[in-house]
A and B are shown apart, each in its own frame.
Chain A
Amino acid sequence: MFNGAMLAIEQINANPDLDFELRPVVMDPGGSLPQYSEQCDVLVNRHGVRHIIGCYTSASRKQILPLVEGSGALLWHSARYEGFESSENVIYLGAAPNQHVVPLAFYVLKNLDPRIYCLGSNYIWTWEINRVMRDILAAGGGTVVAERLPPLGEKALDHLVDDIASHAPGAVLNTLVGESAYSFYSAWHAAVAERPELARITMLSLSLCEAELKLTGQHEGGHIVSSVYFQSIDRPQNARFLSDYRTRYRGYGSPSVDTEAAYLCATMLGRAITQAGTADVASVRHALYRDRFEAPQGPVSVDPENNHSFLTPRLGRSTAAGTFDIFWQSAKPVKPDPYLAWLDLEDIAPTPGSKTSKDPLKLLF
């Protein structure tokens, strides 16, 4: 995220046509929630910062939200998240639940054995993603066969391979994050190499990216990931983004969906300041609502109704080479629905007596 935001800031500052400069004030709370509050206070009240890019977890965002709202600042939030929030003082440039978990659940219903084993780090993101998945599966004739929630950061997860095998699910919804995810994937990949029958169980993810695949041991591919960004998106804007990023960061040149979203945050902030002629929050927000940016992932704009973004959902299948083959994408950017208020589960109910069920992805995207 940091690299993505900094790349955009450097590009804005290098643009000779612009008569302003973005001066980043970098703070690192180190994952400590109290530090988020303290450092946000320093940013807003000591440095007079009006625009903040950051916060990966919902807990950290909610920690600083009262301060951001109270001071009239604007938080540019890049991470996809579980939804059910809509602050006037946050611009949400990560995917809303209807833009990542819903497409994945619909794909499962139509294309896989919809008996799902849910495995995720024990926190709000996993709880809510599992709830949405469970509701959609229930409406479409699928089921959750087991749910395992190891603590955040837990790395001793090898035993879950046998647990998964014993439930024989059609797929595993994997919402483990960080070290937990890498540990589990490594154990799973090693197990699949020894027990090929496990390969029929598909791994599903909402966060796995190219750089992370390289941390999880050799695998033959086949994991299904729902994301608005993959490095393999075939657009000139993405080719330029990848080239710029790899030139700038060399050994760390493998941007993720979070990198691209943070890049969007700083880029769209710069564009809005340019349009507004000021960094004043109200003016920037007003200018932002009129903007439509041809981003690496596709056209991106912010919905004034809820401050979330029109983004293009995609499904990718991992390859043995550590990349993703995009096999489905929405025909156009999808309106964000952070409260899933417009999700009609009745539409995906199996038709009694009919062997050919409807394809939910075609119905809704």
Chain B
Amino acid sequence: MEQSRHSFRAAKIGLLGCNAHDRTTLTRQLSRLGALPVPLEAVASDHLEGSDRLCVLVVDGEAELGEEAFPRNTGRHIAIVALVGSEAPSHLNRILRQSISAHMMKPVRSVGLFTALCIARQSFDVHSRLAGRVEKLEDRIRQRRFVFAAQLALMKALDISEEAAFARLRSAAMERRITIEEMSVELVEAGSAVSAIA
């Protein structure tokens, strides 16, 4: 529902590396939104998955945080809002390496946090969905050569056309409730299974 897209009530928002002023402003504004600010010294695995997973992590892009406090792949697991002070390219490069989903300029004001959180959550969700699709598609491409091999084997064994071989493959995959690619891998690996599908 529309309401939930704009609600951060009870959402855990991590605060990492923020200075005292920004932390105070963020904490106050988060409580207005009904969100739960979680001050952090370091990002732990619990913050990335499970019941303690953060909805969004707000991290000061200027803070000196080592790999242990702020693992490089954090942005793949949760949405990150980076607090930006300097716009110098060298500095921005450091922030961009973290796969951030949104940013706010420092010093932080109350105005802007809600927007940053909405954009970060939306952007992260879209990015995650796309990444999942890309992964699936890449997997299918990798398995594509097995489809060709299986098709060829069927064409030879049954003396049928390319189209008919593909239709057999698809029909067998549907029967087993697996993808054509998975069916093809099984056939190629088994070799003699060509007669089974026939």
Residues of A within 8 A of B (CB): 65, 69, 84-88, 131, 134-135, 138-139, 305-306, 338-343, 345
Contacts and interface: CB of A to CB of B under 8 A. Distances in A.
A88 B110 contact: yes
B163 interface: no
17 contacts: A86-B110, A87-B109, A87-B110, A88-B110, A134-B2, A135-B1, A135-B2, A138-B1, A138-B2, A139-B3, A305-B28, A306-B32, A339-B32, A339-B114, A340-B3, A341-B8, A341-B9
Interface string B24-42: 0000110111100000000
Interface of B: 1-3, 7-9, 28-29, 31-34, 109-111, 114
A283 B75 CA distance: 43
Determine chain B's interface SS by DSSP, over half rule.
Answer: loop
Contacts of A135: 1-3
B9 to A, nearest CB: 5
Contacts of A340: 3, 7
Given A69-B109, A340-B3, 14 more contacts: A65-B111, A84-B114, A86-B110, A87-B111, A88-B110, A131-B2, A135-B1, A138-B2, A139-B3, A305-B28, A339-B34, A341-B9, A341-B32, A343-B3
A139 B1 CA distance: 8
Nearest to B5: A135
A65 B7 CA distance: 25
Contacts of A69: 109
A178 to B, nearest CB: 27
B3 A345 contact: yes
A286 to B, nearest CB: 15
Contacts of B32: 86, 305-306, 338-339, 341
Nearest to A131: B2
B33 A341 contact: yes
B121 to A, nearest CB: 15
B1 A345 contact: yes
A84 B111 CA distance: 9
Contacts of B111: 65, 85, 87
